[in-house]
Structure 1
Amino acid sequence: MKLSTTQQVVSEPLSCAALKGIDWPLFIISGGFLLAFLVAALVDIDSVSGLVNTLFAWSTKFFGLYWQVLMLLTFLVSLGICCTKCGRVRLGGVDQKPDTSTFNWIAVIMCALLAGGGAFWAAAEPLMHFASPPPLFAGVQPHTEAAGYAALAQSYVHWGFLAWAVLGSLLAIVLMHLHYDKGLPLAPRTLLYPLLGQRALKGPIGTLADATSIIAVVAGTIGPIGFLGLQISNALHAVLGIPNDITTQAITIILVTVMYTTSCLVGLKGIRFVSEINVWLMIGLAVFMVALGPTAFILGGFPKAFGLHLEHFIPMTLFRADPKWLDWWTVFYWGWFIGYAPMVALYVAKISRGRTIREIILTLSIIAPIVTMFWFTVVGGTGIGLELQTPGIVTANGAGPEALLLGVTQSLPLGGVISALFLFLSFISVATNGDAMAFTVAMAMSGNDKPKKWLRAFWAIGMGLAAVVLITIGAGGVTALQSFIVITAVPVSLLILPSLWDALRIARRMAVEQQI
């Protein structure tokens, strides 16, 4: 009997190892790289940091503008598809219905990105821009109300429409069609199939696509895990006098690793459960801060900062006048989000079967960004509002990123309780991000959407242990690994480029097939 095209794709092995449920060459390359990085960092962190900084500078110099344009085009193309009849196309099967409620689905999606850094940077970034306005707002005086609005507007650019759009809007369309309709693996290499055909599925090109995507997301996940240990240790020392040392940091990381490993092993139900806790806690804290914090600045600042953000959207998005500032803010973020993009898109594709293109794009490109902006306004705006009322009250215990969140919470009514809840939020946010990414890495490595439990556990535990190893040499080891994700964004940005036209072409063809 002659096999159909789809059956041929499914039956052709990527390698002998793939028949056993795992791509061992990919496992060895990605796991081996992580191990080599850890060993090198322990032996000579200064040389590792120097090499990473050199490659980082090269990446941002030659690819920075390309990333800025790529991010903007991804957002604009996604909106274009959403606003046409193609938005009504149902992905994963025309008769397929979603298996979770819309609230649970949005909660899980939001925690895939916002949880990775939102709890930490929501206070730190606006306050840092408030104290030192971005170059585009160089005429604004620091520590003023105008500086507060400019700070929030700049934060909106970094965590708003473009950041979310690149993480799954177009990539999810391509992956869901090729996986659910054509039977191709749910892996980053599948993004290249429309361009390269079978060469994308077998051989070094596919392995390189998967490996760089996995290394990028693992580096981006280990970073927040390591910084969580440093942040909570610093907070416990400031509030309770507990020693701020490697023991406290390691215990924190081990606890969060146990939590997200357990969640990951339970599967998507466990990930959804942790995500819901995360979202409801964020909502509760937001309501408290709006009600008992600098209410007028928060509620008045959001529309003013949002308007400023829209007014300067293109200039801030394509800003090139200050390369040094740009490298450590906008371009760093773009490299980080681009590095995350293929793996988060796999995650979105896995949990979004039965959703329409319009649902996915509206959630990722509009709803999630606006919610994120408001969250930054609540947390960062609280800090700015308190600083405007009483200069120095937030920064009294330190102006570093790890100290600013604690400075905000300690300045509120019931400061001890709110600080504890925010520390728990940071803890569970990192856990939410960790379980989702460990599951996704295992999914990509096994080539199907039901990865083996031992493989999930390997990456979940491995990321936690890597964070413990890196903090033994101080924040420099974690920072070096965080910066490395920007380097991996170079090949990953080439991997996701074809989705700009492939997603549109696929959406149009599916609209015809579904008679829309």
Structure 2
Amino acid sequence: MENSKGTKTSLDLPSLIISGSVLLLFVIAALINAEFVANTVDYLFGLSATYFGALYQFVMLGTFFIALFLGFSKYGKIRLGNIDKPEMSTFKWISIIMCTLLAAGGVFWAAAEPLSHFLTVPPHFTGIEAGTPEAIAPALALSFIDWGFLSWAILGTLGTIVLMYAHYHKGMPLKPRSLLYPFFGEKIMKNSVFGTFVDTFSIISVAAGTIGPIGFLGLQAGYGVNSLTPLPNTLSVHITIIVLLVAAAAISAATGIHKGIQVLSRFNVILAISLIIGILILGPAMFIFNNYLESIGLYVNEFITFNTYRGDEAWLGGWTVFFFAWFIGYGPMMALFTSRISRGRTIRELVVAVAVIAPVIATFWFTVVGGTGIFLELDIPGSISTALGESGPPAAMMAITKNLPLGTIFGFLFLLATSIFVLTTIDSMSLTISMAISGDGDPPKWLRVFYAIVMGLVAIVLISLGEGSINALQSFIVVTAVPVALLLLTTFWTAPKVCKEMYKDQNLG
């Protein structure tokens, strides 16, 4: 097998075996004693959030500001990927970025998080009564913290720049360990125990972060199908939904980036835009626009204060630090994926698309979905919060659609959008894990299909054990994010370093 630079590559068996064994041991332990696993993960989660929460916040902030500097400095003109023109159109490119990086959270948490902050005002704000108009802007602004500029920047800016330099310009394999190429050169590739450790933790983190949404989708879709049809909300329905989803993802993975992922992403972006327009026409359009303007203003005005808040560690562990750790856990593998789809783009295009345009779209989406939920809750107290309190986050989205005109149609379309978001994430992450194992931008089809199926099977086993097992695996990513955060911290130095070299090589001075 050869990579895009013509360098021979082969399957990295140590990373494959170790990462697979860790996931297998997690499942076996959960089968033997799910409560023990959940308690152990909760304990490790608490330690990680307490002792490394500040590190996560620092890494996120540093990545964003350094990326902005590189993107809008003279280095922004550097063209990445060793080709003169982008491989795909800008709309297709941004569609793939949006669908893959936003994933299921774009619907699942867009409905639940703003309403949760509205009903229980975050500790950043004192003197504001929950459930009142004064609580709207703080609720939305805190949601923007978790899904805004920092979360997007960590997924596809500095790490992507370093990986594209190492792979396309220097011929290194497309693996997480290539992030360390500017430090160690080719030594990091040759029988390196440290390199295997880097790849393995990156794979485990992204697998845990992907399996969780698969399970959550089973729960949310099961609840939604039960709300919209006579089908019961049972385990067998949840498993059937996951099986169908994973089968579709496996087929898409086999077709490659330029067919399956691209087609699905374009369709889902068009569907999401249609849903936004539908809600604005039939829902509280002025409420959404007014509160988006106020909330984004609050978010930007208090940007540093919100992102460095350390006042309530328990609250942070449940929200901001959890999400930051989740995105950090995805960081190296998403950088691989973004590298694969961004050939021919300039650094400025990359930074603007990933760290500016995408989060602006995401925060508006959160306002459309979550803001509508808040509007309905203000209008009829309990109309959304009762479902959220009784059945958890999966119920929030369906409660919102039920209270809209053409609620059944909206319900089906939101379920479809959620399913495709998760489907594209499974598809892209099975591709990315396969790239990390093979070091090739176009790994074998069987390997992509294999990982899509494995992640689906693990989700089915865990969901069969109860929602707590899925939650435990999701929390596990916060623990694995510790070494990954240290890996991404190196890009603070290596990204500017490789930019200087590429700027000189491309004679841009």
What TM-score does the superposition give when structure 1 sets the normalisation length? 0.95
Contact 1:149 1:304 in 2 (8 A): yes
Residue 291 of structure 2 corresponds to 301
| Deviations 1:324-365, CA, capped at 9 Å, x for gaps | 000110100111000000000000000100000000001111
**CA displacement at 1:391 relative to structure 2:** 1.8
Residue 126 of structure 2 corresponds to 138
**CA displacement at 1:138 relative to structure 2:** 2.9
Contact 1:199 1:206 in 2 (8 A): no
Amino acid at match of 2:127: G
Contact 1:199 1:205 in 2 (8 A): no
1:128 aligns to 2:116 (yes or no): yes
Distance 2:378 2:100 in 1: 33
Contact 2:112 2:388 in 1 (8 A): no
1:497 aligns to 2:486 (yes or no): no
1:334 aligns to 2:328 (yes or no): no
Q: Identify which of 201, 207, 211 aligns with 2:200.
A: 211
Residue 372 of structure 1 corresponds to 362
**Mapping of 1:174-189 within 5 angstroms?**
174-189=162-177
**CA displacement at 1:117 relative to structure 2:** 1.2
1:118 aligns to 2:106 (yes or no): yes
Residue 33 of structure 2 corresponds to 44
**Mapping of 1:101-500 within 5 angstroms?**
101-202=89-190, 203-268=192-257, 269-399=259-389, 400-500=392-492
Contact 1:87 1:358 in 2 (8 A): yes
Equivalent residue of 1:319, what SS?
A: coil
Residue 76 of structure 1 corresponds to 65
Distance 1:53 1:149 in 2: 31
Amino acid at match of 1:257: V
Residue 507 of structure 1 corresponds to 499
**CA displacement at 1:10 relative to structure 2:** 7.6
Name the % identity: 48
**CA displacement at 1:154 relative to structure 2:** 0.4
Distance 1:138 1:364 in 2: 33
**CA displacement at 1:388 relative to structure 2:** 1.8
| Deviations 1:55-88, CA, capped at 9 Å, x for gaps | 1111111111011111101100011111111000
**CA displacement at 1:396 relative to structure 2:** 4.0
Q: 199-208 or 122-131, which moves further after superposition?
A: 199-208
**CA displacement at 1:504 relative to structure 2:** 0.8
| Deviations 1:110-168, CA, capped at 9 Å, x for gaps | 11111231111001000000100110013211111221111100011110000000111
Structure 1: stretches of 5+ with no match in the other structure: 1-6, 14-18
**CA displacement at 1:235 relative to structure 2:** 1.9
Distance 1:207 1:281 in 2: 40
Distance 1:36 1:80 in 2: 43
Residue 51 of structure 2 corresponds to 62
Distance 1:124 1:91 in 2: 38
**CA displacement at 1:397 relative to structure 2:** 3.3
Distance 2:469 2:483 in 1: 23
Equivalent residue of 2:124, what SS?
A: helix
Contact 2:182 2:498 in 1 (8 A): no
Distance 1:388 1:308 in 2: 21
Contact 1:10 1:184 in 2 (8 A): no
Distance 1:285 1:172 in 2: 31
Cα RMSD (Å): 1.4
What TM-score does the superposition give when structure 2 sets the normalisation length? 0.96
**CA displacement at 1:236 relative to structure 2:** 2.1
Contact 2:100 2:421 in 1 (8 A): no
Amino acid at match of 1:489: A
Deviating 4+ runs (over 6 angstroms):
none
Amino acid at match of 1:239: L
Contact 1:393 1:407 in 2 (8 A): yes
**CA displacement at 1:237 relative to structure 2:** 2.2
Pair 503,140 (structure 1): closer, same or farther in 2 beyond 3 Å: same
Residue 3 of structure 1 corresponds to none
**CA displacement at 1:411 relative to structure 2:** 0.5
Distance 1:127 1:245 in 2: 26
Amino acid at match of 1:371: I
Amino acid at match of 2:56: W
Amino acid at match of 1:502: T
Contact 2:59 2:488 in 1 (8 A): no
How many residues get paired? Answer: 501
**CA displacement at 1:280 relative to structure 2:** 0.8
**CA displacement at 1:479 relative to structure 2:** 0.4
| Deviations 1:390-433, CA, capped at 9 Å, x for gaps | 22222343432111111111100000111111111111111011
